[in-house]
Structure 1
Amino acid sequence: MTRRSTAANAGALILLCAAATSAQAEDGWSLTISPYVWASSLDGKAALAGQRTHIDIPFSEALEHLDLAALGEVEIMRGRWGLYLDGQYVKTSQDEELLSQELALGITKVNAMAGVFYRIYDSPQGGDTVTGEPRRFVVEPMVGARWTKLKANVEVLGFSTSKKADWTEPFVGVRSSLDLTDRWNLSGEADVGGFDIDDRRSANAQAFVGYRMHLLSRPAMLRAGYRVLYQSYETGDFTGQTFRWDVTQQGPVVGLSMDF
């Protein structure tokens, strides 16, 4: 699938979701779409085919080798219940030299989080936001699953090979949001997962400052903050050796949320 067709399909899906949600607005449904950019670095340890290495990739180097990135979140809510999907697709490539021969290395990393949350606490803060909603302080426990896929492609001396690993882990967490003024908002989220089931552990935390406004006549919010994702996973690989991924991904985040 080409980048153009992927973008067209994504745009069509967004328009379809928006139309469906608008038609159901009287029933209390809401849809929020949030594309974002995560300027993340990687730090930790990895092992494949018995070879262990330390990973230390600052964002400046990751950006230099970036081919394609798509990151975003979709949230659907009705009443106090809500469902969300957060997806990240990052593809990088680079050329290295091995024994005086050129080696091409491509890495694709996919993360997808799906969760259900419940608004257990909702406290009015007085007055309305600039988009017409009451100012609130809310707390929402959540539960869900996180799926990760890693794929590496190597080409050297006319030969190529591709190896991959993927795993899924449950998580529990909580998120909250506070309207400071009619425009400014403060939000945060944290969760832990894996629980050492089959050597899987993870932790995710993020905090944002948001600015409410109208965009294309729709309620919207610009957000800026910081996110940290730690993952640890270990299993046997295709050589009978140990595959290990024990890495922290972190960095600033800038995004836009629109309500439909």
Structure 2
Amino acid sequence: MQLKSGLIALACMSFPTTLLAQDASNKHWQHSIELYGLLLNISGDTQVGAASLEVDVDPDFILDHLEMTAMLRLEGIYRNQWGYYIDYSFMKLGGDKTSVTDANLGLLYADVDIRQGVLEAKGFKRYSYDFGKIDYMFGIRWWDNDIDLELKGQGGNINLSPSIKEDWVDYVVGVRWITDLTDDWVYHLSGDVGLGKDTRFTSSIQTGFRYRFNDWADVNLAYKSTWVDYDNESNFAYDTASYGLLIGLGLYF
């Protein structure tokens, strides 16, 4: 009788542990959210209506004129095989009126407001090898640009106020390599290429290191660059490279 009671008590004690182990094994999804900042540079040229402009934006200019920004990445993977990747960066710059002297046109006054949003949404299939994990990615990159330009010349010889609101979708395919360097350090390298209806070419690359604090948090130190050559052959063209150093905080759940 004492032996039977002991077995019942042992079974009752082991039941919660077994149930927790089953719950842990049934957690097939792993998700993460990353908040990040980017020391962004934008260089290239753009056409807004009849005005053609050279784009040369550096981090100092952005910090001086930044009105609003948001940068966020969401990612999830199911059974370490199929996953999704969503990245959104948004920036709004408000320009101050500046004066420029041109030899032919005289004194010019310019005021530029820029809003740029870029959304990347991708699915991927993961394969594991001896040298790390490879994610084969496919998806879209959505660009959303608003540019307001005011250009006036001394004596009224120039008075241009073009404004454009243009958004488009590019279709991209890419690959990402992830490998553990140590128990705490992870190296990652990703790139993609794509095309769109009015996009001649688009591409992006990101490479860097992640440092794990624990099982649920890490920091991302990376370099990111995105190129696009877009022309709607009407009133807007955008041929630029956006690049810079990235630092982010990732949380896993």
User: TM bucket by the smaller chain?
Assistant: 0.7 to 0.9
**Cα shift readout 1:31-73 (whole Å, capped 9, x = no counterpart):** 1101111111011111111222221122211221111110010
Moved more, 29-38 or 93-102: 93-102
Distance 2:24 2:116 in 1: 35
Match of 2:243 in 1: 250
Matching of residues 135-174 of structure 1 within 5 Å: 137-154=132-149, 162-174=163-175
Matching of residues 212-231 of structure 1 within 5 Å: 212-214=212-214, 219-231=216-228
Matching of residues 53-92 of structure 1 within 5 Å: 53-79=53-79, 80-92=81-93
3-state SS of 1:40 partner: strand
Check conservation: 1:95, 1:102, Cα contact below 8 A.
no
Amino acid at match of 2:37: V
Question: What's the TM-score once normalised by structure 1's chain length?
Answer: 0.76
Distance 1:166 1:201 in 2: 16
Match of 1:6 in 2: none
3-state SS of 1:119 partner: strand
Amino acid at match of 1:232: D
Q: 1:184 to 1:46 in 2, by over 3 A?
A: same
Confirm or deny that 1:116 pairs with 2:123: yes
Matching of residues 3-152 of structure 1 within 5 Å: 26-79=26-79, 80-97=81-98, 104-123=111-130, 137-152=132-147
3-state SS of 2:183 partner: coil
**Cα shift readout 1:191-246 (whole Å, capped 9, x = no counterpart):** 0011x6434310100101111113xxx5111111111100110014xxxx441100
Identity value in percent? 26
**Cα shift readout 1:139-171 (whole Å, capped 9, x = no counterpart):** 1110000000101235799xx875211110100
Match of 1:4 in 2: none
Amino acid at match of 1:147: W
- The higher radius of gyration belongs to 2
3-state SS of 2:182 partner: coil
List gaps (5 residues or longer) in structure 1. 1-22, 124-135
Deviation at 1:113, TM superposition (A): 0.4
Check conservation: 2:48, 2:164, Cα contact below 8 A.
no
Matching of residues 180-199 of structure 1 within 5 Å: 180-194=181-195, 197-199=197-199
Deviation at 1:181, TM superposition (A): 0.6
Check conservation: 2:49, 2:163, Cα contact below 8 A.
no
Moved more, 198-207 or 172-181: 198-207
Deviation at 1:250, TM superposition (A): 0.6
Q: 1:248 to 1:155 in 2, by over 3 A?
A: closer
Deviation at 1:105, TM superposition (A): 3.1
3-state SS of 2:198 partner: coil
Distance 1:59 1:66 in 2: 10
Question: What's the TM-score once normalised by structure 2's chain length?
Answer: 0.78
Q: 1:156 to 1:247 in 2, by over 3 A?
A: closer
Number of equivalent positions? 217
Distance 1:155 1:245 in 2: 18
Check conservation: 1:180, 1:186, Cα contact below 8 A.
yes
Distance 2:129 2:176 in 1: 12
Distance 1:83 1:250 in 2: 23
List gaps (5 residues or longer) in structure 2. 1-22, 100-105, 153-160
Distance 2:231 2:94 in 1: 24
Check conservation: 1:33, 1:259, Cα contact below 8 A.
yes
- Tell me the C-alpha RMSD between the 2 structures: 2.6
